Amino acid sequence: MKKTISQATIDRLPLYFRTLQLVESEKTSIISSDELGKRLDITPEQIRKDLATFGQFGRKGIGYDVHELKNKISNILGLHNRWRLAIVGVGHLGGALANYVNFASLGFSVVALFDKDKKIIGTEVNGIKVNAVSSMKKIIDKRAVDIGVITVPATEAQEVADKLIAAGVKGIWNFAPIKLSVPSEIPLVNEDLSIGLSALSYHMSQD
Amino acid sequence: MKKTISQATIDRLPLYFRTLQLVESEKTSIISSDELGKRLDITPEQIRKDLATFGQFGRKGIGYDVHELKNKISNILGLHNRWRLAIVGVGHLGGALANYVNFASLGFSVVALFDKDKKIIGTEVNGIKVNAVSSMKKIIDKRAVDIGVITVPATEAQEVADKLIAAGVKGIWNFAPIKLSVPSEIPLVNEDLSIGLSALSYHMSQD
């Protein structure tokens, strides 16, 4: 399947996935787009349109098979890969991410932590020991890390990205407020916590 | 101005704002959409289209007045309100947000922290003392808090939202993975750190 899917649809898929997980845990085997919509505050039309992008699911007047749909979304998002993460920069944000429980339910696991601060190296966060940045290549290789998470200051982010890629990660999740240069074959997602807050400010300013 | 602006455009405005701040600090007074696009990795056409939504800016062949454009975007986003935030739930994520430096550059400030854990109440994060949830109403009123930030577990989030709204906040920024019920006049933005990571997983799974 090489069809292009809109970013907005991709962003809704994890929400569907998590809701389906919950519904499955409640022993419900069939769900309608109406019910899924009610749980997520998304219109049933939007849900049907999103899911139709990937082929024919669900039966008219009956609904979607919860287990089948959940697995299909997992496959589309690549969650079955059970990606392994390394976080570089174990400050407040890096520490918060190392402890973020939602990742596990989507199949992600944090397997390595790095920092350059001698006071932090050797400490443990959520059962994982913090290693020196200098040992990045060896540890990323040994622990089969797939994704590098960058939570260092903006001034250090490009150097860290270069090191992560040289060490063999296949994707970068960047929290530093800077545009990183990475090879085109390495997917990069930038996260900026100020964007949601600015959107809230915008909505609060309308009357 | 009561024109509806797309969420995607609203999400790009803080990026423009921050880049213009940087450009202004470099003593540059005029910038072209080409140059702005290069810095942000957004096409100049997209930038011109986004900015045209708000009226006529820039002069053909010359560019945008950096100071004027920055202020205009600040006004559109409501950043001139210099919103005051209270964070409820001072765990890893709440602590990271209390320390997140990017907020200040956009005019947001964290002025209150709340938790229900007796071990955390009375400690300080980034110079702000953590107060008991039971004193929320009094402190939110006294410190003129505008925005309530929810970083408690999903099971406690609705109760916290109700308390924040009763205490007088005008907007909610929610990090708990649950759909909250709030009155229609209270803007709500949900943040989910798993979404960006799932998008990265999706891109890494395409070949």
In whole angstroms, give the CA distance from residue A200 to residue A42. 19
Q: CATH second-level architecture of B7-78?
A: Orthogonal Bundle (1.10)
What is the value of ipTM here, to two decimals?
A: 0.89
* Contacts B200 to A, Cβ<8 Å: 147, 171-173, 187-189
pTM: 0.84
pLDDT (tens digit, 9 = 90+) per residue, B163-200?
Answer: 999 999 999 999 998 889 999 999 999 998 888 899 99
Contacts B103 to A, Cβ<8 Å: 193-194, 197
In sequence order, what are the residues at sequence separation of 6 or more whose Cβ sits closer than 8 angstroms to the Cβ of residue A134?
none
Nearest residue of A to residue B206, measured between CA atoms: A2
Token couple for B113: 């922290």
Determine the pLDDT at residue B3: 58
Counting one residue from A and one from B, how many pairs have CB atoms under 8 Å apart?
A: 182
Higher pLDDT, residue B53 or B110: B110
Angle at B196 between CA B181 and CA A109, to 5 degrees: 105
Contact B173 A197 (CB under 8 A): yes
Q: What is the pLDDT of residue B2?
A: 47
Name residues 151-170 of chain A within 8 A of B (Cβ).
Answer: 170
Q: Where are the domains of chain A?
A: 7-78, 82-195
Q: Which of the residues A39, A97, A178, A204 would you substitute to probe the B interface, choosing the one with the greatest number of B C-beta atoms within 10 Å?
A: A204
A195 to chain B, minimum CA–CA distance in Å? 6
Residue A15 — very low, low, confident or very high, per pLDDT cuts 50/70/90? confident
CATH of segment(s) A82-195: 3.40.50.720
Per the CB < 8 A criterion, the answer to whether A173 and A146 are in contact is: no
- Name the minimum distance, in Å, from the CA of A135 to any CA of chain B: 25
How is A106-146 classified by DSSP, letter by letter? TT-EEEEEEES-TTTTT-EETTEEEEEGGGHHHHHHHTT--
* Most confident of the following: A67-71, B120-124, B179-183: B120-124
Residue B79 contacts A where some CB pair is shorter than 8 Å: yes
Cα-based distances in Å from A25 to A29, A66, B172 = 10, 10, 29
Q: Tens of pLDDT along A91-141? A: 989 999 998 877 888 889 999 999 999 999 999 999 999 999 999 999 999
| Tens of pLDDT, residues B31-46 | 999 999 888 878 888 8
Kindly indicate the confidence band of residue A1, based on its pLDDT and cuts at 50, 70 and 90: very low
Q: Which of B78, B190, B205 sits opposite A78 (nearest CB)?
A: B205
Kindly determine whether residue B173 and residue A7, on different chains, have CB atoms separated by under 8 Å: no
What is each CA distance from B109 to A94, B97, B102, B112, B121, in whole angstroms? 21, 11, 10, 9, 20
